[in-house]
Structure 1
Amino acid sequence: MNPEFHFFMHGPIAQAELAHQWHSTGQPRWRQQLYAVERRVGLALALILYGGELAGALLRRDPTPIGETLGFAATLLVIFTGLYHFLLMFRTLALGANSITREKTGKTWEMLVLTGVDARQIVWGKWWATVLRQWRQYALLGVLRAGVIAWLGGSASRILASIYTSYGYTYGDLQTVLPSALDVLAAGLVVFLLTLANLGFTAACGVLASSETRSGALALARAVATRLTILFVALMILMLPSVILDLAGWWLDRVQLGSNFSLMDVLSRTSITLLDNGASLGSELVAYRLGNTSGSTPSALAAAILSLAIYGVMTWGLLRMAQRRAVRHLALPPEENKPANHITKRL
């Protein structure tokens, strides 16, 4: 690992911020035990639902009875996962938004910048501490979302496929094509990775907002606004090629990258993925389809890879902006190509 990168990620700034976040977000023991039970039950249900879809794909059997057996518990899992997702996102924004703001309101910002720590170390250290504080919860959320999305996508597509298949017996022979085991595995992996990528992006939004203001409430509001604005701009950029081609009078289907794999399909799926963090993409991968429709796995996987890359670029860009704002607030500008041992000596 690059020594300077290791210093940013595991230096005193990150460790001090992580210790503070653990201390400030502590819960009473009884509440921790209650949350632990809820998480374990939710994890077990999600694995059962996901395992049912995977087993159905492997054995070429209908996994619907598994969801029917769980009954209302499966519905509660869907509700719990949705609420847990928004709770974690809001908490991550709050932790990031409080990271630098707390130093300013606590009169420790001037002392921090006088120690010789530059803006890059401060920003990346605060961001990495927030990621470390939240990654276990987001990993759990990724598993919950993978199970719920696979089950919802498979169940909904089975219902639609049965309706169209019954209709097809009168007007032609329509056969239902089941997803493969690789499709189900890919769906789970895509949803899990996109959930973790969302953590880094959300934490960066909070840190950027924190670098600009001294008010915790205002920093949190700015963090929410920043997240919405960045996603909106990304969507507009992704839609731009489609608009240009329409204005040029081209057929979008002419922009082909291979059989059943067009550039516009990838961009449209990527746009939706940034909005729902992979929910529609995962559902599409596990969907049962009719024999007269083509599969979309290549386009879906390409959209997933592009979405992960966009999350990475957005996160990096937000942290760079936070560095510049920290410099405007008296932090030392980062010195390019400065050895890590020289930094340590200055500390």
Structure 2
Amino acid sequence: MSEESVLYARKTKVEPLCPIFNSCGGCRFQDASYERELAIKEAYLKRVLRRVASFDTSVLDAIVPSPAAYHYRSRLDIGFYRTKRGEYLMGFMPEGGRNIIPMESCAIARKEISDFLPELFEQAVAKLPQHYKTANLVVKTGDDGRVFWGGIGRRSLELQEKDYFWTEIMGKKIFYSLDTFFQANLSILPLLLERIEAIANFDRDTHFIDLYAGVGLFGLSFSDKVAKSTLIEHCINSIKMTKYNAAHRNGGRTDIRHGRVEDELPDVIGTTEYGRKIAMIDPPRRGLSPEVCEFLSGMKEVNTLFYLSCNPKALARDLSVFLDRGWTIERIVPFDFFPKTRHLETLVKLIQGKP
């Protein structure tokens, strides 16, 4: 059996909720029980990681289920098209496909978003300029259920501060916007942060370094549990939101840096002010570039590294580099961030040297 085919194995058939299941390119497991889906994903992750020479299955925890298997996505990216005949289409484009799959609802989107889709279509039709033929629409919501969208017109993804989305994690709100990356499954985020805190052993002698910090989810959430938290991010929109989030929180000593990790990190880890340095990376789906992977794996000053990945193949590739440079995998925890799809998130705890 190939690495990919295990994702499409079916034993327990159930009735899909979505009329375009298996057509839109998003969901893969609506016709399987959730228990079976989790088992398939866990087996797939184990299979991919076996290519890492030093992979020990005893460090792999059971997959953490999502509290919500349906209606969990707080973001949708939707294609919008005007045909040559002047008709309008709104829907999803399957990976490698050429035709849009029209839709009027989405079973994995938050209900606030799914219910809004017919209205979104009408608003997009009214807003699309005559010289536009296509648009990529971004729709988001947060804990309070407000829905905003953008994608037509310059600066359409910018929100005013009063309209920022938010979700509450560990008793505090964190804000995000249409033009910044944020995890789409809000329901499972508290479980992820709780697990990191449980296995990180933070103390007042810890310097936490959040690489690719985004809007500050990790660096700010743990800032009051460590001596200092440094956040590095190169995207100007995300840095703006990180500073906004920091200003709306009390407690914790933070250092927010705008720049590339490879440029900022040497200065950050060069200090001997704190006894322990724990770093966190949450790179894009493609994983780390070869140059950045070599650079990060060579950090002798960092004691512990948490790597959060949404791509098992890229994760296995990058872990091989870290292991070759003397790091040890202490814990692997898969999280089902994307129920009913073929994707999953994996948290890996690495430590310098041998345990």
TM-score (norm 1): 0.24
- Structure with the largest fraction of helix: 1
- Structure with the largest fraction of strand: 2
Greater relative CO (CA pairs within 8 A, separation 6+): 1
Larger Rg: 1
